């Protein structure tokens, strides 16, 4: 039996391009990360998940891989990578790599072969189809705007790309594709890495025939997710991967699985399933979107957020494992999205961390979250770099004639570059990230929000994260205890308990700037209670039953029932 070490671990995600630049070219790199290992160790995290560091033409910042066995030149060399791994291991830190195998770059040798002729042995590594009546083979939309098909004049056929046109989808129904993927996974696992985060892994099996999606838009395109999200053979493939590769190593795996329900997650990550350790679900990332998808912004309600997260807590308890996250390299900054990035930035960043990290599951901290980094609102589309943002702008403004101000506003609220501005290390030029010109401008608030300042300030978000991580380490009950939501209908307070044997945790979070009254529900009894953590000074003793919360205040009590 492999040990489930990842259940008590805290993961820190690094987006290498934006973390730390060691050579002044404006792009983060591996030596930059090596130089910050003290920082990561002091924070107290156990695992680093590295967004892709493989050779790539960077159409999607490394999520378009040209060579799975080579390090991206801008990031360094294989020697740098090996040094990073060795140094991490000698500090007791683990390293998880990003595995992007739903698609490759169009510059990957497999695709170069594949597109060269219809009878090339690699043709069937991808999805090639003839057009239909002068149109694409089906009506699927790409996640990055426009059709999911690109015409290729060499052979007069179209290839499928669910993401950018430089990210052709691999055909997992072809057994050679699967064996080649398993080989490259072994290549990294044999170097000693500690697991994989698997990019859009629930998209690898497509329904044969690739049927049209329903409800086409004005331009005739439709989301085809019914035919590739959690597709017909995905579990067969993951079980095969587990049998042939994963089960031979003591590693963790987390699948990025947009569009999964808790029932689906039990199939991907059920303790008895031999597939993945856990998945990233996206339901809570949808509470501020309307039916038009991510750019269709709507105000979010705390009751929705509570309902979603609680359902995941309940439905996975005892049978599968949750991942816990509010941010990553694709999402806006949590403190801007669910907290207050103005007057209560520090309080609300601490409150959000408390609410999330004391739930059951493995917490993920995205670089900068631990100092309360915020969204950015660049004045012009010229300031942006993300392919998703640029395609969205082209489609809506340049082709669609929509109001540029409105489109820019959506980008300010939801755009992925919010998370990708360089890590703010200090008040020095370019936030201490680079001595050159950063590939994406730093957030102008870096003189206020930065690591140097946070480390020097005992009341900072950073030191609060340290404490939360310490707490998780100190009390093993936080791994296994059952989660129960209390006050489900309260519109300002998110409160829950975690219970195991005689021990009960009470977590109370005020999500807004008001001052609501917390009243402990009658059913919860205890003999002793102790305030373990709060983001405000709390003087009154043993006031668990009833108290008034200050703006964005959170409190964590540990209570003991009498035997």
Q: Considering the complex, state which of residue 142 and residue 497 has its C-beta at the smaller distance from ligand GLC.
A: 142
User: Which tokens is 542 given?
Assistant: 């043993």
Among 21, 29, 59, 60, binds ligand GLC (CB under 6 A): 60
Q: How far is the CB of 538 from ligand GLC (least distance, A)?
A: 39
Among 6, 49, 63, 439, binds ligand GLC (CB under 6 A): 63
Please give the residue whose beta carbon sits closest to ligand GLC in the complex.
63
Binders of ligand GLC in range 183-212 (CB under 6 A): 199-200
Q: Considering the complex, state which of residue 63 and residue 321 has its C-beta at the smaller distance from ligand GLC.
A: 63
| Torsion angle defined by CA atoms of residues 177, 179, 184 and 186, in that order, rounded to the nearest 10 degrees | 160
User: Which tokens is 37 given?
Assistant: 């290992």
Catalytic residue positions?
199, 256
User: Which tokens is 28 given?
Assistant: 């983060």
Please report the sign of the dihedral spanned by the C-alpha atoms of residue 518, residue 524, residue 529, residue 533. negative
Among 21, 46, 106, 330, binds ligand GLC (CB under 6 A): 330
Q: Which residues, other chains included, contact 100 with Cβ-Cβ below 8 Å and sequence gap of 6+?
A: 52, 63, 64, 65, 199
How far is residue 134's CA from residue 173's CA, in Å, rounded to a whole number?
A: 27
Q: Considering the complex, state which of residue 44 and residue 259 has its C-beta at the smaller distance from ligand GLC.
A: 259
How far is residue 396's CA from residue 365's CA, in Å, rounded to a whole number?
A: 33
Tally of CA atoms within 13 A in the half-sphere of 527 that contains its CB = 6
Check binding of 122 to ligand GLC (CB under 6 A): no
Check binding of 163 to ligand GLC (CB under 6 A): yes
Q: How far is the CB of 200 from ligand GLC (least distance, A)?
A: 5
Q: Considering the complex, state which of residue 101 and residue 251 has its C-beta at the smaller distance from ligand GLC.
A: 101
Binders of ligand GLC in range 236-265 (CB under 6 A): 256
Q: How far is the CB of 328 from ligand GLC (least distance, A)?
A: 7
User: Which tokens is 517 given?
Assistant: 């009254």
Check binding of 53 to ligand GLC (CB under 6 A): no
Q: Which residues, other chains included, contact 462 with Cβ-Cβ below 8 Å and sequence gap of 6+?
A: 43, 370, 371, 451, 454, 455
Of the candidates 367, 376, 382, 479, which has an alpha carbon nearest to the alpha carbon of residue 423? 367
DSSP 122: T
Q: Considering the complex, state which of residue 200 and residue 352 has its C-beta at the smaller distance from ligand GLC.
A: 200
How many C-beta atoms lie closer than 10 Å to residue 195's C-beta? 25
How far is residue 1's CA from residue 536's CA, in Å, rounded to a whole number?
A: 44
Q: Considering the complex, state which of residue 199 and residue 341 has its C-beta at the smaller distance from ligand GLC.
A: 199
Q: Considering the complex, state which of residue 199 and residue 264 has its C-beta at the smaller distance from ligand GLC.
A: 199
Q: How far is the CB of 106 from ligand GLC (least distance, A)?
A: 13
How far is residue 372's CA from residue 451's CA, in Å, rounded to a whole number?
A: 10
Among 10, 65, 100, 520, binds ligand GLC (CB under 6 A): 100
How far is residue 266's CA from residue 86's CA, in Å, rounded to a whole number?
A: 34
Place of tokens 């999805």: 127
Q: How far is the CB of 381 from ligand GLC (least distance, A)?
A: 19
Q: How far is the CB of 366 from ligand GLC (least distance, A)?
A: 11
Q: How far is the CB of 470 from ligand GLC (least distance, A)?
A: 30
Of the candidates 465, 213, 458, which has an alpha carbon nearest to the alpha carbon of residue 354? 465
Q: Considering the complex, state which of residue 182 and residue 282 has its C-beta at the smaller distance from ligand GLC.
A: 282
How far is residue 320's CA from residue 323's CA, in Å, rounded to a whole number?
A: 10
Q: Which residues, other chains included, contact 127 with Cβ-Cβ below 8 Å and sequence gap of 6+?
A: 159, 160, 168, 169, 171, 206, 210
Q: How far is the CB of 560 from ligand GLC (least distance, A)?
A: 42
- Longest Cα separation, the chain: 77
DSSP letters along 260-320, please?
A: --HHHHHHHHBTTSSS-SEEE--GGGGTTEETTEEEEE----HHHHHHHHHHHHHHHTTTB
Q: How far is the CB of 60 from ligand GLC (least distance, A)?
A: 5
Tell me the number of residues near ligand GLC by CB under 6 A.
Answer: 9
Q: How far is the CB of 227 from ligand GLC (least distance, A)?
A: 18
How far is residue 498's CA from residue 476's CA, in Å, rounded to a whole number?
A: 12
Q: What is the 3-state secondary structure (H, E, C) of 545-563?
A: CEEECCCCCEEEEEEECCC
Q: How far is the CB of 177 from ligand GLC (least distance, A)?
A: 17
- The partner residues of 197 in beta bridges, in order of sequence, read 98, 254
Q: Considering the complex, state which of residue 439 and residue 557 has its C-beta at the smaller distance from ligand GLC.
A: 439
How far is residue 367's CA from residue 420's CA, in Å, rounded to a whole number?
A: 9
Residues that bind ligand GLC (CB under 6 A): 60, 63, 100, 163, 199-200, 256, 329-330
């Amino acid at each position: 039996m492999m040990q489930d070490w990842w259940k008590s671990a805290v993961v820190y995600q690094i987006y290498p391009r934006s973390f730390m630049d060691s050579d002044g070219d404006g792009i983060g790199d591996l030596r930059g990360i090596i130089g910050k290992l003290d920082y990561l160790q002091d924070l107290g995290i156990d695992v680093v998940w590295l967004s892709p560091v493989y050779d790539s033409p960077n159409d999607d910042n490394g999520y378009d891989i040209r060579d799975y066995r080579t390090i991206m030149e801008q990031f360094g060399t294989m020697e740098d990578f090996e040094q990073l791994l060795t140094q991490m291991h000698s500090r007791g830190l683990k390293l998880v790599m990003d595995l992007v195998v739903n698609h490759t770059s169009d510059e990957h040798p497999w695709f170069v072969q594949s597109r060269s002729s219809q009878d090339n042995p690699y043709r069937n590594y991808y999805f090639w189809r003839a057009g239909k009546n002068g149109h694409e083979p089906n009506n699927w939309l790409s996640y990055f705007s426009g059709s999911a098909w690109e015409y290729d004049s060499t052979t007069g056929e179209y290839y499928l790309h669910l993401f950018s046109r430089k990210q052709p989808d691999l055909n997992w129904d072809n057994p050679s594709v699967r064996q080649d993927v398993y080989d490259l996974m072994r290549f990294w696992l044999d170097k000693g890495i500690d697991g994989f985060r698997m990019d859009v892994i629930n998209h690898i099996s497509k329904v044969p025939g690739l049927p049209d999606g329903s409800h086409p838009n004005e331009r005739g395109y439709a989301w085809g997710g019914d035919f590739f999200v959690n597709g017909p053979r995905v579990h067969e493939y993951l079980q095969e991967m587990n049998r042939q590769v994963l089960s031979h190593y003591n590693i963790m795996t987390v699948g990025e699985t947009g569009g999964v329900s808790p029932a689906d997650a039990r199939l991907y990550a059920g303790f008895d399933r031999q597939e993945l350790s856990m998945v990233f679900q996206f339901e809570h990332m949808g509470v501020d979107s309307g039916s038009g998808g991510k750019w269709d912004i709507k105000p979010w309600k705390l009751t929705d957020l509570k309902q979603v997260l609680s359902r995941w807590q309940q439905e996975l308890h005892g049978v599968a494992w949750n991942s816990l996250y509010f941010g990553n390299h694709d999402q806006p900054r949590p403190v801007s999205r669910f907290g207050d990035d103005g007057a209560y930035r520090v309080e609300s960043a601490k409150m959000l961390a408390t609410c999330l990290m004391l739930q059951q599951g493995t917490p993920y901290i995205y670089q900068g979250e631990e100092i309360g980094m915020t969204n950015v609102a660049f004045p012009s589309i010229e300031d942006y770099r993300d392919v998703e943002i640029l395609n969205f702008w082209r489609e809506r403004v340049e082709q669609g004639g929509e109001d540029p101000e409105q489109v820019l506003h959506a980008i300010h609220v939801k755009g992925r570059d919010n998370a990708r501005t360089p890590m703010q290390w200090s008040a020095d030029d370019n936030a201490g990230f680079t001595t050159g010109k950063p590939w994406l401008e730093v957030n102008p608030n870096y003189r206020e929000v930065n690591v140097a300042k946070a480390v020097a300030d005992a009341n900072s978000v950073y030191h609060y994260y340290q404490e939360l991580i310490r707490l998780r380490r100190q009390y093993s009950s936080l791994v296994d205890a059952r989660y129960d939501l209390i006050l489900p209908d309260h519109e300002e307070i998110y409160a829950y308990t975690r219970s195991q044997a005689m021990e009960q945790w009470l977590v109370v979070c005020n999500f807004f700037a008001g001052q609501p009254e917390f009243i402990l529900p009658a059913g919860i009894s205890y003999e002793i209670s102790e305030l373990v953590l709060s983001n405000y000074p709390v003087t009154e003793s043993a006031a668990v039953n009833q108290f008034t919360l200050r703006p964005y205040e959170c409190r964590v009590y540990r209570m003991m029932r009498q035997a």
